[in-house]
Chains A and B, each alone.
Chain A
């Protein structure tokens, strides 16, 4: 039985006319397009409202989730995982929230890969307003936006945790990129573990508030994501060796690069002291290295990106 119905919420709640024109469709759990993975979880959704390419539900997929308040490092890791998965043809599933979730989607889009956004409210209700554009991009890029709630339902503090079971249920593995204590992504990890899926957590500094939850997950038995490629093992994808960057870099660049690699996380002043360069020269080299994608910067901090 297929119910293709057009829904419209009240004017105030509508995300934009495009979504309405793009009509929100519905499949129920008996539909053949409804994935088995979702049927098998505890408390499965009765059906799904969706916009976009519904076939994606049955593709190999991994969920990439994390806290809304992300550090530069977290954003970068999230985007890189998204890109890598997208390149390898793995669908990236996340919750379209600001922070880690958005960057995971953006990473997948950057690689022209497929991505699914699972919302915690009706599809036409403005989820975080700044992410409207991202939602549109996902739909245009042949992605999928789904929700178990009918159009017009306002997301609440109860609906977000519940949709997390769909995120973990759809995917064969879940990666938690950054999570503080009490982050919603820990709930996703819990669901994933209950559903018998592998949970990966990105380790962080033990001093970092943003990584407390992740480190706790590792302590509790989650698989630490040591390099981004680890997640590819889940899909039996052969890991191609990344080319070393050392060949392409000049002498000074290499000096800075080695210093950053050795100190883990540093800032310009430390590079100056450590390498004896002038601040002007050091910041110039850091910028060039950032452009080459060797290092990453944010809020004055500098770290290795590869």
Chain B
């Protein structure tokens, strides 16, 4: 007879419903899986056979055919073990058919029949619920993560035997829920500091902090150039802390991405802090933007709603960097593979850091630079190109002197005050851009730029003057207008004045470097 069991398959960060059809009929003993199964699913046959055997049921010595429907989409993931095993139990009439009707199954089987945690339970559960199925059987270890989905009836199980028990006796579900939710109960949260990494720890660097506030307020991408040890990484790692807190939807979206990447910790399933990713410069293309034959999210998606920090920016291969252009423009990445077209969100703030030259000391009076002029020119060539058009703020970071390190940071702002000015400026932008399709000043371009970024007459004069004397490029103009809009928002001014333009003009260190 035939049984039908519901499960789901990942597609990008969404999941679609999959029906596992199992038939046990007369014929030579065999177990065939059809319906474009991935390699994990084909291997699942052996795990399933042993696990079913080890729960005390002899595996049918008959011809077993498993079909994953719809048959034309490729399926991957180890969570197909459980639905396929349940399908066989159903086809052997060991569990009642009607118990399978409004329930979906996710889980990886161990040879002894126990259930193991899977990747991507959050998007999978959400996809199943969207298709109208309320009950989901999941591995007990995934309970905390899956419970982020609202309106779903979760049944955690530790083994295949428990699953078959709960299918025969639906009341057993409550007992299971009680057993595993107490086992997994949340430790009382230790009162932690409001900011894990606080800007109060950074002495001096007033100018850099100011620039970071501007960057955070308008979601401007930022570049930092400075000698080794001047604090670029320290500053960048504190940036997510001053971004406003994520909304619940944003948190869920980030959690979904991390769930697919398998980076969720079982104790803290919800990603409630903005991500900060700093990939090493040897990262591959697939690692950066996402990829694989069945694409997984890359670093740019893992920094969605947060900060992507590229330290030693000129060391990244140029082709990798060019790949950032599309996501920076559209806030998502679309990856085309033989298996299909996948979209992952990738709306991040790009922070890049670089030394002035390869050895790091070009222009430092205290150290001798050992690079040759052509090495310096070669190093700087990495700064050119269209990617830099998307970086509005360019900052020079100077090392702090020993005397300043040893004294207490007096007037220096901490993360709390910095976040307050960021949030205030964000509010102004929210009201301004309501209904216009963009969210932040950094997205201003074309007619919107003209509409919202017309400076006062003396601001305009200053900008004109700057073009003449500082030899600015045309694309630098847009950049300066966007940044001065954010500065005006922080100061609470409706119109862009000359003071705002003047400050925005000071964040153009790469232009200077690029000019030689």
Q: Which residues of A contact B (CB under 8 A)?
A: 68-69, 71-72, 98-99, 128, 130, 180, 205, 207-210, 267-269, 272-273, 278-288, 290-293, 297-301
Contacts and interface: CB of A to CB of B under 8 A. Distances in A.
Contact of B373 (A69, A272, A279, A280): A69
Contacts of B507: 283
A209 B502 CA distance: 33
Nearest to B210: A279
B207 A283 contact: yes
B228 to A, nearest CB: 13
Contacts of A291: 462, 465-466, 469-470, 505
Given A267-B398, A288-B462, A298 B502 contact: no
Interface of B: 204-207, 209-210, 214, 225-226, 356, 362-369, 371, 373-374, 376-377, 396-398, 462, 465-466, 469-470, 487, 491, 499-503, 505-507, 509, 512, 516
Given A72-B363, A209-B367, A291-B466, A279 B209 contact: yes
A99 B373 contact: yes
Nearest to A276: B411
Given A68-B373, A291-B470, A209 B368 contact: yes
Given A130-B377, A269-B205, A287-B506, A71 B512 contact: no
A120 to B, nearest CB: 14
B396 A299 contact: yes
A170 B204 CA distance: 51
Given A291-B466, A291-B469, A98 B503 contact: no
B398 A284 contact: no
A299 B356 contact: yes
A209 B225 CA distance: 21
Given A71-B365, A272-B206, 10 more contacts: A208-B365, A267-B398, A269-B206, A280-B214, A283-B502, A284-B502, A288-B502, A291-B466, A291-B469, A298-B363
A293 B507 CA distance: 18
16 contacts: A69-B369, A69-B373, A71-B365, A72-B363, A128-B374, A180-B368, A209-B365, A209-B368, A267-B398, A280-B487, A283-B507, A284-B506, A291-B466, A291-B470, A298-B512, A299-B356
Contact of A285 (B364, B374, B502, B516): B502
Contacts of A208: 365
Contacts of B470: 290-291
A282 B210 CA distance: 11
Judged by DSSP, the binding face of B is helix
Q: Which of A208, A209, A286, A299 has the most CB of B within 10 A?
A: A299
B506 A286 contact: yes
A132 to B, nearest CB: 13
A231 to B, nearest CB: 24
Given A71-B365, A98-B373, A208-B365, A283 B503 contact: yes
A272 B207 contact: yes
A284 to B, nearest CB: 3
A290 B373 CA distance: 26
Contacts of B469: 290-293
B398 A69 contact: no
Q: Which of B210, B365, B499 has the most CB of A within 10 A?
A: B365
Contact of A269 (B398, B465, B466, B500): B398
Contacts of B502: 283-285, 287-288
Contacts of B376: 69
A297 B499 CA distance: 19
A115 B161 CA distance: 91
Contacts of A69: 362, 369, 371, 373, 376
A285 B505 CA distance: 10
Contacts of B368: 180, 209
A69 B364 CA distance: 11
Nearest to B469: A291
B362 A207 contact: no
A210 to B, nearest CB: 7
Contacts of B506: 268, 283-284, 286-287
B373 A128 contact: yes
B210 A205 contact: no
Given A267-B398, A269-B206, A269-B398, A281 B363 contact: no
Nearest to B376: A69
Contacts of B367: 209
Contact of A284 (B206, B209, B499, B512): B499
A98 B371 CA distance: 14
A297 B506 CA distance: 10
B22 to A, nearest CB: 67
A185 B388 CA distance: 36
A280 B210 contact: yes
A210 B367 CA distance: 10
A287 B465 contact: no
A302 B465 CA distance: 20
Contacts of A272: 206-207
A96 to B, nearest CB: 13
A180 B204 CA distance: 31
